[in-house]
Amino acid sequence: MTRPSRSTPLEETRGASASGELLLEVRDLRTHLDTKNGLVRAVDGVSFRLHSGETLGIIGESGSGKSMTVLSMLQVVPKPAARIVGGEVLYRGQNLLEKNEREMRRIRGREIAMILQDPQTSLNPVFTIGNQIVEALRLHRRDGGGKALVHRAVEALRQVRIAAPEERIRSYPHEMSGGMKQRAVGALAISCGPRIIVADEPTTSLDVTIQAQYLRLLRDLQRETGLAILFITHDFGIVAKLCRHLLVMYAGRVVEAGPVRAVFNNPAHPYTRALLGSVVRADTKAERLEAIAGQPPALWGLPSGCRFAPRCPHADDRCRKEYPPQLRVRDEASDHVASCWRLEESHGNR
Amino acid sequence: METADVADLLEARRLRKHFGRVAAVDGLDFSLKRGRTLAVVGESGCGKTTTAKLILRLEQPSSGQVLVDGEDVHTLHGGALRRFRMRVQAVFQDPWSSLNPRKRVRSLVAEPLIVNERLGRKEVDRRVDRVLRDVGMRPEQARNFPHEFSGGQRQRIAIASALISNPALIILDEPVSALDVSIRAQIMNLFKDLQREYEVGYLLVAHDLGTTRYMADDIAVMYLGQIVEYAPSEDLFERPRHPYTQALLSATLPAHPDETKEEIVLPGEVPSPLDPPSGCRFNPRCPAKLGPICERTTPAVRDGGARGHTVACHLYPE
């Protein structure tokens, strides 16, 4: 009888692997959207770095610009409404924003692959899963003929722990459960041996125990291949479990960034603090939740100052008028930063 | 399960619902008292949504009963049925699809009153006013259309509409899972405040255990159409008995990167309800399986070690 694997938490690997090769550096990325309500600065000066073997979490609510950031990186923003208007996306030293569509096609999938929230939309319902992986391999790898490609498709399914992969390559998406479909999408993503996987809320549609399996799988794949993972989520639990570094986004901007442990121990931006405080926990019983007042902002006609100011208990006149600079948070982590005028006052513990 | 007394607000007795060969809900017993919250948790296909539909009369049971205030809701007619519709309301997951986009907030919120009660226009306005204030909105927002509101505000409108007829029971079907993280806390606090004020009972259907722990007094854990464990909320979280409950709790995400807990990763997925395993339905994935008894015999409901705590598992003495 099969027994479940009991092993140490995902935790361990994060501290263990020191930062590898710098794979991706995004500098001051800006993407604008034309909407009927006016111009939206969906991504408004986002910068970060990603190394091989590292997992970087981008956390934010709807409209924070977290998904638009990665769509811009890969130049798959919805056109013509969205325009990338500035910044650089340096992948191993080359600026992806200067590449044409033909060149980008060689990057997407082969160098940087994506896993989306809903596996249903990532798989073609009229082709078998094997066909879809072979098609991707044929486009990107071009080495080896039909048999070798099928063999590699089987291997990809095996890597994502799909049982009996030789049989499963003949399955259509509708013959698979939600969890298995998301694994198949994972197989499709890793089949061409990318260095970076961008995962946009890949577990949101999965059940709790299936989500646990999937996160473990991503961690194992990373350990085996040295992949870098860019994980987009709204869930601090996933960040705590999987990520080494974290960006917190609000209304198109990064408001806080740093090592996950530093941000959890010492959240500096009032938004991060409020967000962490409002999370319902399964491990203790809360009498009352600390709710954040107000609504996430409408992205057109944003205030010129700090975008969180209307909801922030510490905001003063300067906060409402001028956007705050990015400041270093004084704690043990050298790369913990936050954009807040009142960092010292609001962040009372130091 | 204890036999519930007549005063229970809601009671399910041997409740079953079959869709063809699939037993979506297979013999449920539970009860809920006025002003309390019972959560039904479990993964997709466990039957929690079908259970909610059976209570709301959106499905007819194949056998068994749903009692509200001691009356079988599936035999109601005329005035008694109208009364039921006033007393039992629902709030659903997605406030984008649950509100008619062509109606103003006033008529959306007032609908249960207009359909079920004969009230003058002034009285309706007064009640709409009051309930909008109670859910944290401004009365003048009654003139607006749903598209003018964010997700959190829309959920407040849906809650107002559920509350206006002074119900005794509201079915909450994943009421915060479509909302942004920063809004969830507001809405959950609101549910708690309203429960105290209106003395309303909630049947909460949820997959998120954090939400459940915050909201529920009692929890029923379902697996493949059956309740495998039933307990007061704190007892369930502190001393889960059933191996499935233990796995479910261990799969919840950590609150801090330094939190270490033993993680029980279950093999495989929930089997097809078309062909459920014999004996205990959890046996093919169970890390604590005893042997042939689990494959052959459906476990009876046993004492879970605390008052009101029961578990259906061969690990525990009958």
Instruction: Tell me the pLDDT tens digit for each residue of A119-152.
Output: 888 899 999 999 999 999 988 876 777 888 999 9
What DSSP state is assigned to residue B206? E
The owner of tokens 């070798």 is A148
Give the pLDDT score at B1.
45
Residues of B in contact with A216 (CB under 8 A): 263, 265
Residue A90 lies in a domain: yes
Indicate if A100 and A192 belong to the same structural domain: yes
**Token reading at A75:** 């130049």
Residue A260 has its nearest CB partner, among B257, B263, B267, at B257
Q: What is the mean pLDDT of residues A217-244?
A: 93
Indicate which CATH number applies to the domain containing A211.
3.40.50.300
Of A195, A228, A243, the position where a domain reaches its end is A243
Percent of chain B with pLDDT over 90: 73
CA distances from residue A125 to A129, A170, B259, B299 in whole angstroms, order as listed? 9, 13, 40, 40
- Are A212 and B257 inside 8 Å of each other by CB? no
> Is residue A6 included in any domain, yes or no?
no
Contact A283 B269 (CB under 8 A): no
- Which among A5, A235, A280 has the least Cβ separation from residue B265? A5
CA-nearest residue to A233 within chain B is B181
Pairing mode of beta strands A112-115, A196-200: parallel
Mean pLDDT of the region B205-224: 93
- Which residues in chain A are closer than 8 Å to B182, comparing Cβ atoms? 61, 274-275, 278, 291-292, 296
pLDDT: which is higher, A297 or A222: A222
CB of A25 within 8 A of CB of A49?
Answer: yes
Across the interface, of B43, B212, B250, the residue whose CB is closest to A207 is B43
Predicted ipTM > 0.90: no
Name chain A contacts of B264, Cβ cutoff 8 Å: 4, 6
pLDDT for the residue B24: 93
Q: Chains A, B: CB contacts under 8 A, how many?
A: 155
Residues of A in contact with B211 (CB under 8 A): 280
Q: Do B180 and A61 touch (CB under 8 A)?
A: yes
Domain boundaries defined on chain B:
10-216, 243-318
Substitution target in A283, A288, A336 with the highest count of B β-carbons within 10 Å is A283
Domain membership of residue A16 (yes or no) is no
CA B306 to each of CA B28, B239, B309: distance values in angstroms, whole numbers, following the listed order: 20, 9, 5
Burial tier of B103 (Cβ tally within 10 Å: 0-12, 13-18, 19+): middle
Distance of CA A80 to the CA centre of its chain: 24
Region B229-248 average pLDDT:
96
- What does the pLDDT read at residue B7? 67
CA distance A242 to chain B (A): 8
- Within this chain, do residues A126 and A182 fall inside the same structural domain, yes or no? yes
Inter-chain CB proximity B253 and A14 less than 8 Å: no
- Confidence at residue B198, expressed as pLDDT on a 0 to 100 scale: 92
Contact assignment for B265 to A212 by CB distance below 8 Å:
yes
Residue A320 lies in a domain: yes
Rounded to whole angstroms, how far apart are CA atoms A113 and A345? 42
- Domain B10-216: give its CATH superfamily: P-loop containing nucleotide triphosphate hydrolases (3.40.50.300)
Could you report the per-residue pLDDT of B46-82, keeping only the tens digit for each? 999 999 999 999 999 999 999 999 999 999 999 999 9
Same domain, A257 and A316: yes
Q: Please check whether residues A275 and A205 belong to one and the same domain.
A: no
Interatomic CA distance for residues B266 and A26, integer angstroms: 38
Asked whether residue A121 falls in the same domain as residue A232, the answer is: yes
Q: In what order do the strands lie in the sheet with A326-328?
A: A112-115, A196-200, A228-233, A55-59, A245-250, A253-259, A337-339, A326-328
pLDDT of residue A330: 86
Chain B residues in contact with A178 by the CB 8 A cut-off are: 44
A161 and A215 fall within a common domain = yes
| pLDDT band, very low/low/confident/very high, at A199 (cuts 50, 70, 90) | very high
Kindly state whether residue A9 falls inside one of the protein's structural domains. Answer: no
Give B252 to chain A, closest Cα distance, Å. Answer: 7
The pLDDT, as a whole number, for residue B223 is: 95
Sign of the C-alpha dihedral, residues B118, B119, B120, B124? negative
Q: Of A243, A258, A290, which residue constitutes the final position of a domain?
A: A243
Whether residues A30 and A120 share a domain: the answer is: yes
Look up tokens 């994980």; give the residue: A231
Tell me whether residues A6 and B253 touch, CB distance under 8 A.
no
Structural domain that includes position A118: 21-52+65-243
Are B128 and B110 within 8 A, CB to CB?
A: yes
d(CA A252, CA A244): 22
A260 in the same domain as A183: no
Read off the pLDDT of each residue in B265-269 and give the average, rounded to a whole number.
82
Query: Do residue A72 and residue A203 come from a single domain?
Result: yes
- Asked if the Cβ–Cβ distance from B180 to A275 is below 8 Å, we say no
- Domain count along chain A: 2
The predicted model scores a pTM of: 0.86
Of A243, A261, A292, the one marking the end of a domain is: A243
Do residues A142 and A187 share a domain?
Answer: yes
The answer to whether residue A139 is domain-embedded is yes
- Does some domain include residue A14? no
